[in-house]
């Protein structure tokens, strides 16, 4: 789940990092138009990040079930806003997917960001955030299909936080 170090890339000062998640039977899987690697979007100075993510996902993948920002961090000489986007299985089509493995979170110090943040830690936190939302937010609780609940119950709920 890495990006190639080549010249053409998203380079805005604020970027969205999209993790497209879907439920495959009893497994949560990661996918996207670039496969399971983080999907980066450029964010302009006047654009609302959630609107951009929703619009691009609708155009490229199809209508999502949920779009939620789950964390932020500094990376790639930018501020990266991470989003978990839940899609129904019928939208996956030929997009490559991988099972989502559990991961250790990148913990902050009392007054400092974590030194290293792995992609797996961002996804782990995103799903913990979703686990919190499904218990706390009536909109998320209503929109998320019921078979997600037992899987999210395994994630320790956490609200939005800065990862770096």
Sign of dihedral through CA atoms 153, 107, 84, 38? negative
User: From the list 20, 21, 43, 86, which residue makes contact with other proteins (rule: CB under 8 A)?
Assistant: 43
Q: Is 69 in the site for other proteins (CB under 8 A)?
A: no
Give the x-and-dash track for 2-21 against other proteins (CB under 8 A): -xxxxxxxx-----x-----
Place of tokens 């782990």: 124
Cβ–Cβ < 8 Å for 67, 49: no
Residue closer to other proteins (CB basis): 40 or 87? 40
Q: Which residues of 99-126 are buried (b: 16+ CB within 10 A; e: fewer)?
A: ebeeeebbeeeeeeebeebebbbbbbbb
Q: Is 46 in the site for other proteins (CB under 8 A)?
A: no
Q: Is 133 in the site for other proteins (CB under 8 A)?
A: no
Using CB under 8 A, list all residues that contact other proteins.
3-10, 16, 33-35, 37, 39-44, 47, 52, 56, 59-60, 96
């Amino acid at each position: 789940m890495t990006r190639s170090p080549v010249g053409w890339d998203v380079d805005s000062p604020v970027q969205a990092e999209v993790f497209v998640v879907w439920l495959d039977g009893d497994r949560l899987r990661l996918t996207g138009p670039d496969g399971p690697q983080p999907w980066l979007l450029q964010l302009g100075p006047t654009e609302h990040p959630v609107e951009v993510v929703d619009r691009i996902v609708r155009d490229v993948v199809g209508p999502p079930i949920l779009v939620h920002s789950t964390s932020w961090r500094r990376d790639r000489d930018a501020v990266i806003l991470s989003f978990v986007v839940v899609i129904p299985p019928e939208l996956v089509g030929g997009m490559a997917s991988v099972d989502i493995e559990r991961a250790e979170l990148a913990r902050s110090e009392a007054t400092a960001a974590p030194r290293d943040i792995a992609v797996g830690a961002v996804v782990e936190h995103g799903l913990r955030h979703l686990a919190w939302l499904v218990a706390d937010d009536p909109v998320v609780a209503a929109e998320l299909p019921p078979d997600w609940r037992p899987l999210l119950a395994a994630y320790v709920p956490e609200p939005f936080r800065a990862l770096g």
